[in-house]
Structure 1
Amino acid sequence: MMYEQQQRFQQPMSVKVDVRKKTERSKGTEEERLEIVDLSGMSLDSLPNPSLNLATICKLDLSNNNLQNIPESLTARLLNMVVLDVHSNQLRHLPNSIGCLSKLKVLNVSGNLIEYLPKTIENCRSLEELNANFNKLIQLPENIGYELTNLKKLSVNSNKLVFLPRSTSHMTALKILDARLNCLRSLPEDLENLINLETLNVSQNFQYLDSLPYSVGLLLSLVELDASYNKIRSLPDSIGCLKKLQKLSVEGNPLSSPPPEVVEQGLHAVKEYLCQKMNAGHQSPTKKKSWVGRLVKYGTFNGLNSRGGIREEREAFIMPDYRPIDSLASPRYTGMFSTRRLFSPRNYFTN
């Protein structure tokens, strides 16, 4: 059952709070009431002291305020928090206690001044959506991908990221990765582990991103790839294998492979070009010369040697008449069958 009511926080200035309560049956026979608290767009500089039990809040909306920090003690008590929205504030960092939110599924911190996400965010293992757009992020926690394996959407566009951590490629549940408008110089090499990735946007990294890894073409679930407005000169041939790809944006790049005239013909032409190029590069290699060929090359097979363009006989390799096997084992002849002699350059045994 869902209903609305107004509730006041205990502070000198009265603040109206939109609280939606719903009843959910827990694992046992008891029932607990989870509350949705909306404090958005109230020009708050700091948070009021709540009169309700923080452990009963499942969604807290603090967006569009003037908050500069979130108290550690507040976050630590939001034990049943599922959605936390603090977008469009003045936050420079998130509290370390955010790692206590083991049930958190959606975190929106976009439109702030955050340079680093706390390492403790790796403990939010239920997280499915992380929106950190429009901040000042320089890097993401190194092990974020190893821990947030349930993450389905990662949005970090409009930041100052130079690279994505290698652990990003371990987010096997990830469906959307938006890293446009950053300073990315490269992407992780083993992207093929992102087996559920459907949308990859790395556009507008401008003068920084000059190539895509081969593994981009191994993203078998990829539907949309946007790599426009970078410095990419050549697309990986493997992109020609992306059967589910429906949208490819590569404008604004100095592409030579595929050439502009192919790109202008659309996705099908690009995939066909790259596929043909890949097949041409995987033609059967030149057959290796057999050991007999090596003997002939070095002039050791038939007892002939070349000196000054004139082939001449080598006495050491000619047996003028038949000899029994035991005589061939004599020291006079065993030397001619040594590996060193057979495969040495032709001028090694010059007379």
Structure 2
Amino acid sequence: MSYRADEWKFTKIYADSKILDLSNNKIDNIENGAFYGLSKLIYLSLRNNKLKNIEAETFFGLESIKEIQLSENQIRKIDPMAFNYLTKIEFLALNKNYIVNISELTFKNLTFLRELQLNYNHIESLVNNIFNDLSCLETLFLFSNGINYLDAEIFMNIKDLISLNLGNNSLKTIDLRYLRKLEILYLDFNQFSTFKTNLSGKINNSNKTLFCHLSTIKRLYLDGNPLVHLNSSFFESNGIVPSLVCLSICYCQLESIDNDAFKQYKNLELLLMERNRLLFLNNTIIAGLSALRYVRMDQKAISGSMSDLKFLYPM
């Protein structure tokens, strides 16, 4: 049995209510204007229902809303105007739905939005200006979709982004030249085989290359990509290297790592690289990394001298 949101008789809810949780029900439809009169509401959860569509005036009247949870529904269609008047919203969760296409107008006017969750949908591409109004966005989740390409311009107006999760997609190349404040980057389980950073953003002949300004990156996750070899210039661009604190390259296809591959990463604290094809590692790979406190790797097939690896924690 399914329910309609207008059956909840929102008129009986106090007009000064600030929190409304309708999660874990069987609501499959919300009438336009169903929340009208709840102008002081700041939190609304409709998580884990059976919603399929979000209409133009579904949230009309929610003048003070700061957070809306729409995850774990069956949403396929969102009217381009559905969120446009939610000008104070800071958090919007649309993860775990069936979204394929998103209009360039969907996030218009959401200038205070700080976190957007679009993970676990069926998105394959995004129009370049979709995030143009999200000038305060700090966290963006896009993992577990079917994205195979993103133009650099899509990130042009979200320059304050701190955390970006693009894991578990089909990306072979990425250009993040505009994200000069990015600290956390998930690119795990994509199709990258080679990584070359490029501050000017010029594309070379390879179609499997990472192009981005990585000097601010502190946590980088590349697990599950078909990597083969790491050397000292793996992430270098014009002499600039990232300020890595954590590097995760597990479940790749790494066969070799140069002895000096990590020498420039003086801030590195966590190095995770188990489940690869490494046959030989020398203890010099972590020489000079005084900040390093935790290393994880497989030791079974490694035949190099590892006597000085004080931080080794085998799987």
Shorter-chain TM-score bucket reads 0.5 to 0.7
The 8 Å contact of residues 75 and 97 in structure 1, kept in 2 or not, is answered as no
CA gap of 1:213–1:150, structure 2 versus 1, over 3 A, is farther
CA gap of 1:238–1:15, structure 2 versus 1, over 3 A, is farther
1:89-130 CA distances to partner (integer Å, 9 max, x unpaired)? 111122321341222110001111111123223412211000
The equivalent of 2:124 in structure 1 is 115
The equivalent of 1:214 in structure 2 is 233
**Which of 26, 43, 47 lines up with 1:36 in the alignment?**
43
1:197-243 CA distances to partner (integer Å, 9 max, x unpaired)? 2110111013x665578263644521111122333445463521211
Q: SS of the counterpart of 1:98? A: coil
The letter of the residue matching 2:225 is N
The equivalent of 2:140 in structure 1 is 130
CA gap of 1:146–1:85, structure 2 versus 1, over 3 A, is same
The equivalent of 1:343 in structure 2 is none
Q: Does 1:45 align with 2:68?
A: no
Provide the rounded CA distance (Å) in 2 between the counterparts of 1:229 and 1:104: 34
Provide the rounded CA distance (Å) in 1 between the counterparts of 2:71 and 2:198: 36
Provide the rounded CA distance (Å) in 1 between the counterparts of 2:53 and 2:125: 21
Provide the rounded CA distance (Å) in 1 between the counterparts of 2:241 and 2:267: 9
**Which of 8, 27, 32 lines up with 1:14 in the alignment?**
8
The letter of the residue matching 1:121 is I
Provide the rounded CA distance (Å) in 1 between the counterparts of 2:228 and 2:95: 28
Larger CA deviation: 131-140 vs 142-151: 142-151
The letter of the residue matching 1:251 is E
Provide the rounded CA distance (Å) in 1 between the counterparts of 2:107 and 2:230: 35
The equivalent of 1:229 in structure 2 is 251
C-alpha displacement of 1:141: 3.0
**Which of 52, 58, 82 lines up with 1:74 in the alignment?**
82
Count of aligned positions = 246
Q: Does 1:142 align with 2:152?
A: yes
Matches within 5 A, 1:1-351: 11=6, 13-14=7-8, 21=18, 33=40, 35-47=42-54, 50=58, 52-100=60-108, 101-123=110-132, 124-165=134-175, 168-190=176-198, 193-206=213-226, 214=233, 216=235, 218-235=240-257, 237=260, 239-255=262-278, 260-262=280-282, 269-272=284-287
CA gap of 1:193–1:183, structure 2 versus 1, over 3 A, is closer
Q: SS of the counterpart of 1:134? A: coil
Provide the rounded CA distance (Å) in 2 between the counterparts of 1:57 and 1:9: 21
C-alpha displacement of 1:156: 0.9
The 8 Å contact of residues 228 and 256 in structure 2, kept in 1 or not, is answered as no
The 8 Å contact of residues 17 and 40 in structure 2, kept in 1 or not, is answered as no
**Matched-pair identity in %:** 22
The letter of the residue matching 1:155 is N
Structure number with larger C-alpha Rg:
1
Q: SS of the counterpart of 1:158? A: coil
C-alpha displacement of 1:159: 0.9
The equivalent of 1:285 in structure 2 is none
C-alpha displacement of 1:10: 6.5
Q: SS of the counterpart of 1:200? A: strand
Structure with the largest fraction of helix = 1
Provide the rounded CA distance (Å) in 2 between the counterparts of 1:140 and 1:205: 18
TM-score by length of 2: 0.67
The 8 Å contact of residues 109 and 131 in structure 1, kept in 2 or not, is answered as yes
Larger CA deviation: 68-77 vs 82-91: 68-77
CA gap of 1:15–1:63, structure 2 versus 1, over 3 A, is farther
Unaligned runs of 5+ in 2: 20-38, 200-211, 290-315
Provide the rounded CA distance (Å) in 2 between the counterparts of 1:107 and 1:133: 12
Q: SS of the counterpart of 1:144? A: helix
Provide the rounded CA distance (Å) in 2 between the counterparts of 1:213 and 1:162: 22
C-alpha displacement of 1:79: 2.2
Provide the rounded CA distance (Å) in 1 between the counterparts of 2:231 and 2:77: 38
